[in-house]
Amino acid sequence: MAIASRYPLLFMFAALLTLSSSPYADEHGAQPEAAATPDIPEPLHVEHAGSVRIDGKTIDYTATAGTLVMKDDDGKPIAHYGYTAYTRDGADKGERPIMFAYNGGPGSASMWLHMGILGPQRTVIEDIAFNTSGPFRYQNNEYSILDKADLVMIDPVGTGFSRAVGEGKSEDFWGVDNDIRTVSDFIARYVTVNARWTSPKYLLGESYGGIRSGGVSYDLLSRHSIALEGVILVSPYMDYVAGNAGTANDLPYVNYLTTYASTAWYHEVSEYRPDSLETFLEEAETFALEVYAPLLLKGHRASAAERKTVLEGLQRFTGISADYWDRANLRIDESRFAKELLREQRKTVGRIDSRFVGDALNHIGERFSYDPFFPSVGPAFVATFNDYYREVLGVETDMNYVTSAGLWRDWGQEHEHPGPIGNQPVGNLAVDLAYAMTQNPNMRLLVQQGYYDLATPVGATRYFLDHMELPERLRGNITEAYYEAGHMMYLHKPSLGKFKRDLADFIR
């Protein structure tokens, strides 16, 4: 499988730069156990006292930026695992909730969630504009979650400052199962080192962080006996089969249709456009499930009249001509859709957030040459994160802070599912999540999803939720929240406030 085109958030973090911070002591604040060697550098450790204003109240915290030494069963260092933690001053660590959060990729550092919504500082972004002119700024984040929980932003090995060291090898950390196991081990080690065993614990993962969270939630419970209070999935990618248009499989084309419809509605190119987006999407979903899907299943057994009805519906809901859909054999992946929707205007819409628009580079091509989302927001995030980490937190080192590592090129895709499913060539981590929720019936799930997300579409999210094998009584543990924005819905100011309210309400 060409993971570059199949993992939905891979493009999201491609080509974004670096940063650095400074070598100090180990995770306890003391000097390392042994002098650094050429193969094993000193871990990083910087502490900073800060405060954030949320809802008119000042919250004082201690920020810890650095790397935690991970060891094998023989006590030998195998990785320096990067993280940034925020703990509220004066709070009872045993009682206060703690949230572990990460982005996806695979191969993305946690910079996006860190500076976009969760941390005490927030990058200033003009929504759907090209934020490429300095000075780049960040400000007090009144939407931070630090009023409700302590926060640990995690950078898996190969991202941020996280590196394999000693006898550790990068491939020991890369791949669906390796990633799940090592992120779980980091969380367990952090909990031990920082005396957080009795704290209520939450996971929050964005995009590929959904696959990671599904696996980590079960792995923490089964291997470490750590029961989570809740899991938050932001724009989650969970199921390879259900979420990858472009393969020889009809299901994802059905799942993508509502996002195609919402994008056409937003750009006012659909023939039929009611005032209410929700009404339009309900009708599009009904069409997708009750008319479009049955025809795809019939294949060449479908009648000409049935095919004509579907083609007319596809044009009605997506704004792309029935002729184009016909020539595409009723199946268009998100790259072709992003290219075709505004082709007559010589524009391309974004994949990560289809509200974003950029000038097309190839007016006769069948796939977009770039995603307008990346150059619109990437420079501002990279610049502000670098400045914040260096100048405010005081992290100094020659090491690069890797925001995007392109790890998908070497990512192992097989996954050992729990139960009778066993080992599979590609994963559906909703299975693991269901096992975790069933064996920990107090664990709750919050799913936060944008309507204009062509990377992890609404239809695929609803599909995995509808098909999770859960006892009926546990379905009440699931909360869904939707936003009129894209993959990083918190860039949209109205959605930013709603995101925080939904998240705060979820944390007990």
Q: pLDDT for 231-246, tens place per residue?
A: 999 999 999 888 888 8
Question: Are residues 401 and 356 located together in one domain of the fold?
Answer: no
In whole angstroms, what separates CA 443 from the centre of its chain? 20
- For the beta carbon of residue 142, count every other beta carbon within 10 angstroms: 16
| pLDDT value for 419 | 87
Question: Are residues 226 and 256 located together in one domain of the fold?
Answer: no
Q: Domain tally for the chain? A: 2
Structure tokens that stand for 483 in this block: 């936003």
In whole angstroms, what is the distance from residue 403 CA to residue 114 CA? 12
Q: Where is 224: in which H helix or E strand? A: helix 208-224
Q: Are 459 and 288 in contact (CB under 8 A)?
A: yes
In a domain, 369, yes or no: yes
Cis before residue 135, ω within 30 degrees of 0? yes
Question: Are residues 236 and 308 located together in one domain of the fold?
Answer: no
Domain boundary among 373, 400, 421: 373
| pLDDT value for 425 | 87
Window from 79-88, 283-292, 410-419, 430-439 with minimum mean pLDDT = 410-419
In whole angstroms, what is the distance from residue 176 CA to residue 117 CA? 26
| pLDDT value for 362 | 83
- For the beta carbon of residue 483, count every other beta carbon within 10 angstroms: 21
Nearest to 427 by CA among 204, 237, 256: 237
pLDDT at 40 over 50: yes
What are the CB-based long-range contacts (under 8 Å, 24+) for 323-332?
330/253, 330/292, 330/295, 330/296, 331/245, 331/250, 331/253, 331/296, 332/245, 332/253, 332/260
3-state class (DSSP) for residue 490? helix
Q: In terms of pLDDT, which residue wins out, 376 or 246?
A: 376
Question: Are residues 340 and 406 located together in one domain of the fold?
Answer: no
| pLDDT value for 39 | 66
| pLDDT value for 38 | 52
Domain boundary among 346, 373, 400: 373
Question: Are residues 423 and 485 located together in one domain of the fold?
Answer: yes
| pLDDT value for 406 | 76
Structure tokens that stand for 395 in this block: 């992290």
Average pLDDT on 190-215 reads 97
3-state class (DSSP) for residue 305? helix
Average pLDDT on 167-180 reads 93
pLDDT at 253 over 80: yes
Range of 305's domain?
Answer: 251-373
Average pLDDT on 278-303 reads 97
| pLDDT band (50, 70, 90) for residue 400 | confident
Please, what is the average pLDDT of the chain?
90
Question: Are residues 348 and 389 located together in one domain of the fold?
Answer: no
Question: Are residues 297 and 391 located together in one domain of the fold?
Answer: no
Cis before residue 120, ω within 30 degrees of 0? no
Domain boundary among 338, 373, 408: 373
In a domain, 246, yes or no: no
Question: Are residues 403 and 347 located together in one domain of the fold?
Answer: no
In a domain, 352, yes or no: yes
pLDDT at 431 over 60: yes
pLDDT at 273 over 80: yes
In whole angstroms, what is the distance from residue 32 CA to residue 326 CA? 65
